[in-house]
A and B are shown apart, each in its own frame.
Chain A
């Protein structure tokens, strides 16, 4: 991936004077739903995010995909409306409502023409509070997700990333597929859905984050009504306690070769366990990564792999974040003929980065670029709301996302290179390559300096 799954740009302190918009985080009462709102009358539309502070890592053993499945089922019928009626109502209003499941959050993302906000909020309230989980819709959704998982086998990039992620984290919950596995999806029942719903859809886990052409009163009034309804219905006594362990790197370099016929190009992901956003080394590593893997056309990887050699259309590295350290990975997709040399050279560049660090010129360029582009983190109300969501769901200190520019200014070159030296583990990296195995196995053994027993070959269709 060129970028982490969320933007981690910073913003300049001077931006505040331009916004002149309203932002509230309502005081948290005991059990009350936290609500953030920023008014934006520039277009007649309202964006509403309902975030549940628990995601697919809360899937019980043997029920991978349950959280995502439950979230999707909420949009598929209530005690008084069928899925068809809900779909018709949303389209008639000029609205959209989707659910996005992450590892550690589930977010209902709604958008509606502001003239239709009232009926939209009424419908959303019913969806969250009175789901039906009918057998017909459960069966339909199982078939749809199964088909999506099979369809994904045709998409080399996303398939490689999913398999790399599992290979890196092994049995840790961060390695699980959010959509689940076909075999385990078939085991999900009405009972398991209801139980999971009662565990997760409760006021103490919900955040309401909105922006657009409406008022704080309307959004906070709706939040209070939601809280009132949820507190009056049966919920699980406790939230499933997910005590995530800190994931660990393997003690040696490993290669997963995902065998797919007729490939003229490979997909390569490699990496290691990352850092937490509040780790003291994070900001030095953030600059170090920017200099090495972008997203910049002037970054080392892009210059060496694409610009100078033309080996790959994209070449980059990035962090992903969670409440625990998650991942740092690189990605490239060279022609099959260039794969061994491109991977070997990338590993050499990482080793070099660890040993020698970046130069003063590379440091100054990366630092200056990041500080000056920081305003784009907060240049729309939707981005500001999104940042608030990240702070809450990743257990970050309040205002963390606003501290980037200030933090980056403090960083020195020596800190960056010390952090890179300490952090990078090229000899312990997990590497996944999707390609045609018969053409690659031998050459990849040489380019990764691995003995054949450290190379695992699997079919691209393997679960």
Chain B
């Protein structure tokens, strides 16, 4: 959920990222390796090779703050992102939408900066893409800056991590902004309405049940005290990872982080694990009448959390089913004239979640027909092993997506920050990705049998009013 709507670079409800192969022996990235003499690494830093010559330097501070730095001299700029391990999964019933609404509040007044000064300070320093987003599992604050503005952003971000001032008037104004965001993303959007219904139907106990943006009623009954308590619980150094990628020296970033964040106290609060979702034993289905001209379909299957051992095989399955025009569902639905588009969700949730297939039907075609085709394709996957050729193609598509998703400081920072947030540690996330290369046809068939279960599916159909 973005703080501001920017259609040219708008991100969806779920924050997507590409995952793929981390190889050694690929083409080396010269820009990533250059380091000046004045940039000697502090002994506290741990160097972890990532991909294509890229090295991540990791620091952990006494107060629990984690810092990841990638030095990249290709331009005199850097990306600076603050990732907090809190999202809508950490909310309570009756307080839905608080994580996202609080994200908006983080741009307000602090003890050291008046309302609006944070934005002005950064913008006048040449900041680019200053924004934030909230997912089910995490909240991130992002921006890029010219190389000489490192201290400014470390100071400003550490300030709002600990010295935010939350007043009722600002809270009420921002709540109205969020209500407008909700009207835009859900209330007046067929896709948003269907997405909300899907999660409400598929999850009965787990907090993934409610929308990230929250319910209108819940938003209206919250006040600034709710926000203040949320801040105290979740916004502290031990709940955050700072990711810096670009024309910086890791040693300098470390020193500045020590100076500005080092004295901030950790919070003792430990978020409790959400309730486990009971195993779904019967299909769930709902039809919505919407202001649309062509039918829409969402089919979802329960899948495990991102760190589960079955995820690499599910990633390959997802690729061969839905990535690229030659994928099975593209061929079965679009090439046959049934659908105009097919999309599959990412498998990147911290807790057990859903593999979602979203289909826009062609004129006068029925969503029920598309559903039957999907079930047939999944049955075929469960019964027959895929060929080596198809397996290789699925992995190539994943590799391509990975590389094309790492082309800028911003993208690389986002990649690391999201892995850190959903896997608990980006190294753990990388291991999951590395395993994709060794997935076999038998493993793909096994996960198809295990997870593409007819009884476990949830279906939402959108039809014209």
Contacts and interface: CB of A to CB of B under 8 A. Distances in A.
A12 to B, nearest CB: 8
Residue picked from A2, A150, A156, most chain B C-beta under 10 Å: A150
Interface in B119-137: 119-120, 123-130
Given A43-B27, A90-B324, A368-B124, A143 B291 contact: no
B286 interface: no
A42 B74 CA distance: 9
Interface stretch (B220-228, B392-400, B416-424): B392-400
A105 B53 CA distance: 37
A91 B319 CA distance: 10
Interface in A111-126: 111-114
Contacts of A44: 26-27, 52, 403
A335 interface: yes
A24 interface: no
B6 interface: yes
B177 interface: yes
Contact of A380 (B191, B399, B407): B407
B421 to A, nearest CB: 23
A307 B389 CA distance: 55
B427 to A, nearest CB: 20
A458 to B, nearest CB: 16
Contacts of A84: 326, 331, 335
A199 to B, nearest CB: 27
A221 interface: no
A348 interface: no
B285 interface: no
Give the interface size bracket for B toward A.
35 or more
B120 A91 contact: no
Contact of A43 (B189, B294, B407): B407
B363 interface: yes
Contact of B76 (A18, A143, A150, A371): A18
Given A111-B404, A310-B177, A335-B179, A147 B8 contact: no
Given A147-B361, A154-B291, A297-B119, A87 B8 contact: no
Interface string A121-141: 000000000000000000010
Interface stretch (A29-37, A233-241, A259-267): A259-267
Interface residues of A, number: 80
A172 B144 CA distance: 39
Given A41-B30, A84-B326, A310-B177, A148 B340 contact: yes
A283 B124 CA distance: 18
A453 B256 CA distance: 64
A140 B184 CA distance: 33
A371 B125 CA distance: 9
B327 interface: yes
B173 interface: yes
Interface stretch (A48-56, A189-197, A273-281, A311-319): A311-319
B94 to A, nearest CB: 23
B7 A114 contact: no
A365 B122 CA distance: 11
Contacts of B31: 42
B369 interface: no
Contacts of A2: 4-8
A296 to B, nearest CB: 6
A369 B400 contact: no
Given A92-B396, A334-B180, A365-B120, A379 B75 contact: yes
A163 B126 CA distance: 35
B320 to A, nearest CB: 9
Interface in B238-253: 247
B67 to A, nearest CB: 22
B185 to A, nearest CB: 9
A81 interface: no
A113 B403 contact: yes
Interface in B175-208: 175-181, 183-184, 187-191
A147 B76 contact: no
Nearest to A21: B74
Interface in B22-80: 26-32, 52-53, 73-77
A151 B8 contact: no
Contact of A91 (B73, B74, B294, B326): B326
B293 to A, nearest CB: 4
B75 A261 contact: no
Contact of A144 (B189, B362, B396, B399): B362
Contact of B400 (A95, A147, A155): A95
Given A307-B116, A307-B173, A375-B76, A154 B290 contact: yes
A306 interface: yes
Contact of B363 (A15, A150, A261, A313): A150
A87 B393 CA distance: 11
A155 B184 CA distance: 10
Interface in A44-89: 44-45, 83-84, 87-88
Contact of A147 (B26, B175, B340): B340
A380 B177 contact: no
A295 B340 contact: no
Contacts of B393: 88, 91-92
B184 A265 contact: yes
A301 to B, nearest CB: 12
Interface string A1-31: 1110100010000110011000000000000
A207 to B, nearest CB: 21
A139 B14 CA distance: 35
Nearest to A93: B396
A446 interface: no
A376 interface: yes
Contacts of B323: 91
Given A45-B403, A297-B130, A372 B177 contact: no
A264 B187 contact: yes
Contact of A154 (B128, B293, B389): B293
Nearest to A312: B180
Interface string B422-465: 00000000000000000000000000000000000000000001
A85 to B, nearest CB: 9
A19 B31 CA distance: 9
Contacts of B325: 87, 90-91
Nearest to B324: A91
A19 to B, nearest CB: 7
B326 A147 contact: no
Interface of A: 1-3, 5, 9, 14-15, 18-19, 41-45, 83-84, 87-88, 90-96, 111-114, 140, 143-144, 146-148, 150-151, 153-157, 213, 260-265, 295-298, 303, 306-314, 333-335, 365, 368-369, 371-376, 378-380, 382, 461
Given A18-B76, A140-B335, A151-B340, 13 more contacts: A1-B7, A15-B76, A43-B29, A87-B326, A88-B393, A154-B293, A157-B7, A264-B188, A297-B116, A303-B116, A310-B173, A313-B178, A373-B126
- The 3 A-B pairs at the shortest CB distance, nearest first, are namely A372-B126, A310-B176, A94-B396
Interface of B: 4-8, 26-32, 52-53, 73-77, 107, 116, 119-120, 123-130, 144, 146, 172-181, 183-184, 187-191, 247, 290-294, 323-327, 330-331, 334-335, 337, 340-341, 360-363, 389, 392-393, 396-397, 399-400, 403-404, 406-409, 465
27 contacts: A2-B8, A18-B73, A83-B335, A84-B331, A91-B324, A91-B327, A91-B396, A92-B389, A96-B400, A96-B404, A113-B403, A153-B291, A265-B188, A296-B119, A297-B119, A307-B173, A311-B176, A313-B4, A313-B178, A365-B124, A372-B146, A373-B123, A373-B126, A373-B146, A374-B126, A375-B77, A380-B408
